[in-house]
Amino acid sequence: MKKENITSSFVQTKKLGEKFAKEILKKRVKKRAFVIGLEGKLGAGKTCFLQGFAKGLRIKEKILSPTFVIMKRFQFNNLTIKQFNNFYHIDCYRIERPKELLDLSFREITSSPKNIVAVEWADKIKRIMPKHTFWIKFKFINEKKRKITLKD
Residue-wise pLDDT for 124-147, tens only, equals 999 999 999 999 999 999 988 999
Render pLDDT for 63-85 as a digit per residue (tens, 0 to 9). Answer: 887 777 799 999 987 656 678 89
Map out the domains of the chain as residue ranges: 4-151
User: pTM for this structure?
Assistant: 0.92
Residue range 4-151 in CATH 3.40.50.300: yes
Q: Which has the closest alpha carbon to 91: 112, 114, 115, 72? A: 72
**Stretch (H or E) spanning 140:** strand 134-140
Render pLDDT for 19-75 as a digit per residue (tens, 0 to 9). Answer: 999 998 887 667 889 999 999 999 999 999 999 999 999 998 888 877 777 999 999
